[in-house]
Structure 1
Amino acid sequence: MTLFVTLLLGLMLVILGLAMGWSWWAWSASGPLLLIAAFATHRMLSPKRAEMPRDVLSAPDLPLPETERQEHRIMHVALPSSVADYDFSFSATVRWTLLDAPDDAPWINAAGLAVEAVLERARSVTAQQPPNRSSLARHQLDGALATMRVDASGRVMAMAHSVELDLPEHDRERLTRLSNVRKDEDVWEHERNYERSKRAYLGEDVLKDTGSAVVWWLSRNEEEVEGAVDRIGVFAQLSAAARNESVAPQFEHMVYQPRDRSAEGEPGDTPLTSNDPVGAETGDEAEPPFPTDSVLACFGISPDDPDRDLFAARLADVARAHGKHHAEAALRSCISDDGDDGNGEGHGPEKPTEDGYEGG
């Protein structure tokens, strides 16, 4: 290659000299220039001297050895939550790698240092989470422990994967019950506040006095003015009762006064009818459902008639047959003890027949 370049360069110089008409001194100077160019070409094209023996260079390059990493699985480690006495159960696979250390550095348990570093990082996360948020805390731990970090001693780098975080079943059930109780308590507290507010509104505003009650009723029934007038007495009683006071004097004539029916014979009392039960208690002795003597007198039976008890017994049987028990009881109550046995058969000489009575 050096010879070829030298010949090529010499031909170019000859062509250039002939074309330009060089003088003899130019031709003599081109000779050394051609030699210098040949020498430089030889130096440039010659291979460089190898720094290592050829037998070493012939061996293929080997890949660098990977940094040795080791793993250790930890199971069911208790980690604190933000609530006392409620601990998470933590499981994970800890991975670590050793760092360079001085020659005089002490021997270490790399697994112990790595596990301690991972647990310290996990504890700082779980201590901020409530126990009922174990799923959220697990995902946060996945991110917090996913990178290699140097431990406090500076001898290992540690991380964790396959993280598991749970709350024990009995603690989960207990938290669920407490949550339900708190929810019920909140609902009860709101209902109590609502009831208290409603009582205050009715007692201190609506029923503050009779006028306020009337105005409140009119605001809800704007078209019933006459109805409001009719209810003034009721409103007066309600407002007075709400304040534990008596009705104002100007409204006393509007207050409804129920009639006293405890005394017998007063005008306006409703008399007992044949449908009223005998012996119903009204405060005094009950009246008979109807005047028995008057009924017997309609049939020509006087109080001293010897057939009175027998006739009353017969009427009582008829009343019983028709379901008129009140009339039956009244008729039997007027029968003398020695006049009838309650079955319509008297102790006298007379006996009933199909067509009437026999004997005296």
Structure 2
Amino acid sequence: MARGFFAKFLATAEPYVMPPTWQGRIENVPVRSATQDYHFWFSCTVLHQLTHPGAQAHPAPLEAAKHGILRQVMPVAAAVELTGGAALQAQLATQLGVPCHELNGQLRVWATDVVVSVDDADLQAVHQRHDLQRKLQVWQHEKEMERRECEFTAEMLTDPNRAVAWWLSRNPQQVAQAVGMIEPIARLSAAIHGPAEAPAEVSAEDQLLAAAEQLFAELDEWNRPLLGDQLAKTLATFGHADLAARLRDRLDAQGLAT
């Protein structure tokens, strides 16, 4: 009984008819690449089917299908440098070969015969620009190394003895030669940085004051002024009243002056 029912159902059911496939071409449409001011040329065969043939059709289904394909292509191409055209073509051929739906599912769209091309002149210009950029980077690196070497040499020559010691550390067997380098390096240092400044002369009075401060530094606040006053009186006795006053200032003994 069941077998008869299914036989009757199949006999009365309408056979499924595949919707027709329509196609058109996209020819040499420029699509932006990741390389500034340069683009790819994109071509393909666009295929589309109406998913609901009985429904109200779009007035321009082929143009809608082309628009859908280009909408997929553009963001992918924009992430690829101009030199990557072959890889881009393979990627797009794979991606566009999978049907997608447009017009809210009314249109089934895919593409074949995908071709991505690049103008030879553009490709040559991009290669030349890359070569120039690499050469510029090498040149900048070399200039930076030269600058650092000059700075290091100038720094080493601020102290001739240090420069000779540095050279000797790298040539430990050349002691005699290192000794002979001291005077020439000193002259070279003077030529680069100017003659070394002579240490400022310290007067005998200032030396005495500094020595007294150092000598009395560990005394307490009572003994330091007392001893300072005694030393100041001795200085004043021998005609150094100004120096005695300065000493009292240094040792907090002003109140003991008579």
How far 1:114 moved relative to its partner?
A: 1.1
Deviations 1:4-44 (A, max 9, x none): xxxxxxxxxxxxxxxxxxxxxxxxxxxxxxxxxxxxxxxxx
In the alignment, is the contact (CA less than 8 A) between 1:210 and 1:235 conserved in 2?
yes
C-alpha distance in 1 between matches for 2:3 and 2:159: 120
Q: State the 4+ residue runs in structure 1 displaced beyond 6 angstroms.
A: 51-54
Find the counterpart in structure 2 of residue 158 from structure 1. 109
Find the counterpart in structure 2 of residue 189 from structure 1. 140
Q: Mark the CA change 1:222 to 1:154 in structure 2 (over 3 Å): closer, same or farther.
A: same
Find the counterpart in structure 1 of residue 170 from structure 2. 220
SS of corresponding position for 2:132: helix
SS of corresponding position for 2:22: strand
Q: Mark the CA change 1:81 to 1:222 in structure 2 (over 3 Å): closer, same or farther.
A: same
**Which of the pair is proportionally richer in strand?**
2
**Residue identity in the other structure for 1:242:** I
C-alpha distance in 1 between matches for 2:135 and 2:154: 28
C-alpha distance in 2 between matches for 1:53 and 1:235: 112
Q: Report whether the alignment pairs 1:91 with 2:27.
A: no
Q: Report whether the alignment pairs 1:235 with 2:235.
A: no
Q: Mark the CA change 1:210 to 1:84 in structure 2 (over 3 Å): closer, same or farther.
A: closer
In the alignment, is the contact (CA less than 8 A) between 1:117 and 1:152 conserved in 2?
no
In the TM superposition, what are the counterparts of 1:162-177 in structure 2 within 5 Å? 162-177=113-128
Match of 1:74 among 18, 23, 26: 26
Superposition TM-score, scaled by structure 2 size: 0.67
> Using CA pairs below 8 Å that are at least 6 residues apart, which structure has the higher relative contact order?
2
Superposition TM-score, scaled by structure 1 size: 0.49
SS of corresponding position for 2:28: strand
In the TM superposition, what are the counterparts of 1:102-121 in structure 2 within 5 Å? 103=55, 105-121=56-72
Q: Mark the CA change 1:62 to 1:150 in structure 2 (over 3 Å): closer, same or farther.
A: closer
C-alpha distance in 2 between matches for 1:152 and 1:124: 20
Q: Between Structure 1 and Structure 2, whose CA radius of gyration is higher?
A: 1
Q: Mark the CA change 1:156 to 1:227 in structure 2 (over 3 Å): closer, same or farther.
A: same
How far 1:129 moved relative to its partner?
A: 1.7
Q: Mark the CA change 1:68 to 1:134 in structure 2 (over 3 Å): closer, same or farther.
A: same
**Residue identity in the other structure for 2:32:** P
**Residue identity in the other structure for 1:91:** S
Find the counterpart in structure 1 of residue 93 from structure 2. 142
How far 1:128 moved relative to its partner?
A: 1.9
**Residue identity in the other structure for 1:77:** V
How far 1:51 moved relative to its partner?
A: 6.5
In the TM superposition, what are the counterparts of 1:1-360 in structure 2 within 5 Å? 64-100=16-52, 103=55, 105-204=56-155, 206-243=156-193, 245-246=194-195
How far 1:201 moved relative to its partner?
A: 0.8
In the alignment, is the contact (CA less than 8 A) between 2:19 and 2:51 conserved in 1?
no
Q: Mark the CA change 1:135 to 1:48 in structure 2 (over 3 Å): closer, same or farther.
A: closer
**Residue identity in the other structure for 2:90:** H
The answer for unaligned runs of 5 or more in structure 2 is 199-258
How far 1:126 moved relative to its partner?
A: 0.9
Q: How many residues align?
A: 197
C-alpha distance in 2 between matches for 1:52 and 1:194: 88
**Residue identity in the other structure for 2:24:** H
How far 1:110 moved relative to its partner?
A: 2.1
The answer for unaligned runs of 5 or more in structure 1 is 1-46, 250-360
C-alpha distance in 2 between matches for 1:165 and 1:49: 56
Q: Mark the CA change 1:170 to 1:49 in structure 2 (over 3 Å): closer, same or farther.
A: closer
SS of corresponding position for 1:222: coil
Find the counterpart in structure 1 of residue 253 from structure 2. none
Identity within the alignment, %: 26
C-alpha distance in 2 between matches for 1:151 and 1:89: 24
C-alpha distance in 2 between matches for 1:84 and 1:201: 40
